[in-house]
Amino acid sequence: MARVIEKTKEIAKHSLMGIGIAAMLAGAAQSQQAINSIEVLVNDEPLSSFDINQRLRLVIAVAGGVETEQEFLKVREQVIRSMVDEKLQLQEAATVELEIQDAQLEEFFARRAQGLGQTPEQFANALAGIGSSKQTMVDQMEAEIAWSQLVQGRLGSFVSVSDEEVEAYIQRIYDNKGKFEHRLAEIVLLVDSPEQEASVKANADDLVARIRAGASFPDIAQQLSASSTAAVGGDLGWITAEDLDPDYAKAIEDVAVGDVADPLRTAGGYVILAQRDRRRILTADPLDTQISLRQVHLTPEKVADPEAVEKFRSVAESLSNQETSCAQVPQYVEEAGADGRPEVGILRYRDLQPQIRQAVENAEIGAASDMLTMEDGMRVLFVCEREEATVQEPNFDAVYNQMEQQRLSMMGRRYLRDLRRDAIVDYR
């Protein structure tokens, strides 16, 4: 469930540990160099210490902070690698005069803010609050968009998926009815030379530990993954067990839904795999039941006020003892002094936190749930609509697009690898 102020506070809170270390290291470094000195030249184009530190603060916040100088240096090294890749991607886009318009970047920034339940202004303020900036995020977006368009434009025509291949894939789906398929996500960390092996492996181990401790896999993937899937949080979509790379299949064999596997060494570097979901093929799963939810939500700011809590609790208890409806939720919000968003949206049971799923799984339409006290505040939930799960038949066009994108992603990785090989990168 999207949170507005809560997500901002979480980012800011997690960033504090890392910023303290960053400040210490920056203080030591500044005695020898200016704060905006050039740290890396990528084909004679500079990456400044200011730009690197702005991105670093963002990544540290996303990763949940750092506690030691060693951890900080690992993250910094990976950030620099990612920024070098972005510089190479933008340089290559410039060779074909590919430019991303400011309006498009603003639109993408607004979408990312919306994904956190924030306005663009709130998101920009949240970034500034952790010592980063909107421009840092926009620069990263520009590289993502430009690279996606460049790969599509230059390599798209070379991707070949035949009707026979799609039909064979669909037939395998029917042949595997009742068996499991997996929804995976990836973080790709590349090893470009033997000298990088140890540091990249250590960074991969560190990221796995952070994710298992609660850091956001999609956010880290967006910031650090070298794969084209970074733009969608590393999401690889649904893959049948039969179509999984054997090494991938072995890596996730005993990984529970919501957990991540240990780093997997591949030909190009290390991959961190997350088991986002698992389901039986062509079998209706109760967890795929969709519900439309509304809520009366008291955010943590007001939970800190005893009078606000007492007022909310009184209304919440009265709702459980009377006939209620979704149409009256705005009225309940006002009566309870709630300040969170009433609209939650349409979600599947499998998308819900266990505490919320338990509260709404068997609820009557329009009835108020018991009051829930959670990390992001207090709430009463209302199920407004329910659509039972049905079997999703494979769609030819969807399968075609999935196969096409998988092959294009692989070609994009090779393209970037070649750019790295030919680049002149001077670390100062």
Per-residue pLDDT of the chain (428 residues; tens, 9 = 90+): 333 334 444 444 443 343 444 444 444 344 344 556 889 999 999 999 999 999 999 888 877 777 778 888 888 888 999 999 999 999 999 999 999 999 999 999 998 888 776 889 988 998 888 888 999 999 999 999 999 999 999 999 999 999 999 999 999 889 989 888 899 999 999 888 888 899 899 999 999 998 988 888 998 998 889 887 887 889 988 888 778 889 999 999 889 888 999 999 998 899 999 999 888 899 988 888 999 999 999 998 899 999 999 999 999 999 988 999 999 999 999 999 999 889 999 999 988 888 899 999 989 999 999 999 988 899 999 999 999 988 888 999 999 998 998 899 889 888 998 999 999 999 88
- Domain(s) labelled CATH 1.10.4030.10 in the chain stretch across 5-153
CB 241 within 8 A of CB 180: yes
80 Cβ contact list (under 8 Å, min separation 6): 39, 40, 47, 52, 427
CB 92 within 8 A of CB 43: no
- Domain(s) labelled CATH 3.10.50.40 in the chain stretch across 176-283+405-427, 286-387
> Beta partners for 292?
346, 385
325 alpha-carbon distance from chain centroid: 34
CATH number of the domain located at residue range(s) 5-153 in this protein: 1.10.4030.10
> Beta partners for 273?
186
In this structure, what DSSP letter does residue 388 have?
-
Burial of residue 166 (number of CB atoms within 10 Å: 0-12, 13-18, 19+): buried
| Spatial CA neighbour of 191 closest among 408, 407, 409, 420 | 420
Determine the 3-state secondary structure of 61 from DSSP.
helix
Largest Cα span, the chain: 71
Give, to the nearest 10 degrees, the angle between helix 69-94 and helix 217-224.
60
Question: Which fold would CATH assign to domain 176-283+405-427?
Answer: Chitinase A; domain 3 (3.10.50)
Q: Given this model, what pLDDT does residue 35 score?
A: 57
Q: Given this model, what pLDDT does residue 257 score?
A: 85
Q: What is the pTM of this model?
A: 0.69
Q: Given this model, what pLDDT does residue 34 score?
A: 52
Class of domain 286-387: alpha beta
